[in-house]
Amino acid sequence: MKELSVLNLLGINELTKSDIDLIFKTADSFKEVINRQIKKVPTLRDITIANLFFENSTRTKLSFELAQKRLSADIVNFSASNSSLTKGESLIDTANNILSMKVDMIVMRHPHSGAAKFLSEKTNTVIINAGDGTHEHPTQALLDSYSIKEKLGGVKGKKVVLVGDIKHSRVALSNIFALKKLGAKVMVCGPTTLIPKYIKHLGVEVEHDLKKAIKWCDVANMLRIQLERQDIQYFPSIREYTHQFQLNKEILEITKKPITILHPGPINRGVEITSEIADSEHSIILNQVENGVAIRMAIIYLLAGSINRS
């Protein structure tokens, strides 16, 4: 069996193109499985996985749980609000106590950038990063690129624009790494205040005019404004932001070619995207969610092979 070059999934930056190709090929098989009448395989019957979510999640948490159940793994779920963290226990103590119960793998979402890497250095288990602060959200980027490949037949050479709050978005950073590794041309578009200066060094184009970005691209990945991460006000008002950066029918009419539309969710309908466009024939938002289960099954399956290597 082919192996990934990593023992943990901490970020896309650490993956090779061959790793991503292997994850996609494995996900193809699992996508077939989850569309069967019996959507389950016995592959990971002897594996126990803990899902540690220190931050809210709908899609990622449910998608990981379903992926684990489809692989027949045993799972335990942990959320920060009803745990002993509220009594002052540290992340490492919490993790080590969970691992003492013979858990083989941890999936973790955490509000602090670097939390997954920190845990991987302090524990002897397999860690999957389900989103760490403003750093990376690797499984989201993999399912996004996989969905583009499925819709357009490939990622190489495609022009992809990420629109919105690039500064606070882990989805944006992971997408940039994944898309560049797969040979796409990448642009970011948003207000000057929400585009970090370092972004140009990642080999992406920067555009502040949504109309120009839409004329340029084949694919638009619309991002939510991450108000919960913003310490100051980065634009005058939501109304002003919507006026300049909302993807709507009028903006899309400036280009004659169809644009494939993605959104990682949760969507703020009427802000970054209108309902009409989010629900249109060119939107693959729900395909992304479906593909998320297959991608996460592939990652868990491939990393389970490294349990004895770690």
Residues 6+ apart with CB under 8 A from 88: none
Q: Is 60 considered catalytic here?
A: yes
Interface with ligand CP, residue 8, by CB under 6 A: no
The one catalytic residue among 60, 94, 139, 260: 60
Residues 184-203 within binding reach of ligand CP (CB under 6 A): none
Q: Is 109 considered catalytic here?
A: yes
Residue nearest to ligand CP (CB): 60
Contact 52, 61 (CB under 8 A): no
Cβ proximity to ligand CP: between 72 and 113 the closer is 113
Pattern of binders to ligand CP over 266-285, x per CB under 6 A?
x-------------------
Cβ proximity to ligand CP: between 58 and 193 the closer is 58
Q: Is 87 considered catalytic here?
A: yes
- DSSP secondary structure letters along 182-207: TT-EEEEES-GGGS-GGGGGGT-EEE
Pattern of binders to ligand CP over 37-76, x per CB under 6 A?
--------------------xxxx----------------
Stretch that binds ligand CP, among 89-97, 114-122, 231-239, 259-267 (CB under 6 A): 259-267
Neighbours of 265 (CB within 10 A): 17
Strand order in the sheet with 185-189: 205-207, 185-189, 159-163, 219-222, 260-262
For residue 86, give the DSSP letter: G
Of these, 85, 265, 268, 280, which contacts ligand CP (CB under 6 A)? 265
Tokens of 201: 């060094």
Three-state secondary-structure class, residue 116: helix
Instruction: Write down the least CB distance from residue 219 to ligand CP, Å.
Output: 17
Interface with ligand CP, residue 112, by CB under 6 A: no
Q: Is 59 considered catalytic here?
A: yes
Instruction: Write down the least CB distance from residue 86 to ligand CP, Å.
Output: 21
The 10 Å CB-count burial string (b at 16+, else e) for 181-211 is bbebbbbbbbbeebbbeebeeeebeebeebe
Catalytic residue numbers read 59-60, 87, 109, 137
